[in-house]
Amino acid sequence: MSARAVLPESAIRIIGFVGLGNMGQPMSACLLRDGFTVQGFDLAPAARDDLTAAGGQARTSSAEAVRGADLVILMLPGSDAVESVIDEDGFLGSLSPDAVIVDMSSSEPLRTRALAERLAAQGHTLLDAPVSGGVARARDGELTIMVGGAEKDVAFVTPVLKSMGNVTHAGPVGAGHAAKALNNLMSAVHLLASSEAVIAGQRFGIDPETLLAIVNTSSGRSWSTEYKWPRFVLTETYNSGFSLGLMVKDMRIATGLASSLHSPCVLGEKATELWARAAEALPPNADHTEVARWVRMLGEDQ
């Protein structure tokens, strides 16, 4: 156990963690580092092995992972996977009476709200707490965590969530997932616009690093120009750990939410259309930062 491992003041000691992928693995490692007991499950045997190597307790099913847990964390691809796990035989029956379920996936806010109501009718509490920050910040326990739920329930889980990052209570159930999708829509628009601008500047004769240095002390700066372009695009590594397909999924969640609320989302819908074209043109496992490569490819076709 590292020097950091000081168990926070919390009634929660045992955490059932389902979904130990790119984000779930470092997030669970942060919980272990802070002294929590983590019993986890993932469909991939290698992910379960990684949890064991980090000091966690691997289980052979989701139901076994949540058995006896004070808190259950789901870190899955989205609403379909979340609902599938919750509806598995034995899952709800394995929950402790007072256990709280926290969906940290990028799920659909309206479906999250409906699922929370369905679970409440069965005596279970569901909160949503999606994250932003990528794999690097997940490793460092510095994620942005946006939580949806009643204030008392959010207060109950906050000591655990703080092990993984900075916690903000976004509003009622579903608000966290809404905030995450809207954030990713803005992030995607920034990256697409930045890519178009930097590539146009390069074709005019401005070195990309020079243009980024100018922009990053000017009004056009964004996380895309300050971090994504220098770290993943200029280096041509394209390894942020977040796929282009997942970005498109989150964008569609955001634009769908706006549509259901009769809120204008003209730019967002157009950006989503362009990102979907990039997803069709690039390999299925493309990193989301490869949208810059797609923009360059478009220009080369002219």
Active site positions, annotated: 180
How far apart CA 131 and CA 145 sit, in angstroms, is 5
Phi and psi angles of residue 203, each rounded to the nearest 5 degrees, phi first: -70, -20
Q: How far apart are CA 128 and CA 132, in angstroms?
A: 13
Distance CA 98, CA 94 (A): 12
Q: Which of 8, 11, 133 is nearest to 70 (CA)?
A: 11
Q: Strands 143-148 and 131-132: what pairing?
A: antiparallel
Strands (E), 137-219: 143-148, 165-171
Q: How far apart are CA 290 and CA 275, in angstroms?
A: 10
**Identity of residue 97:** P
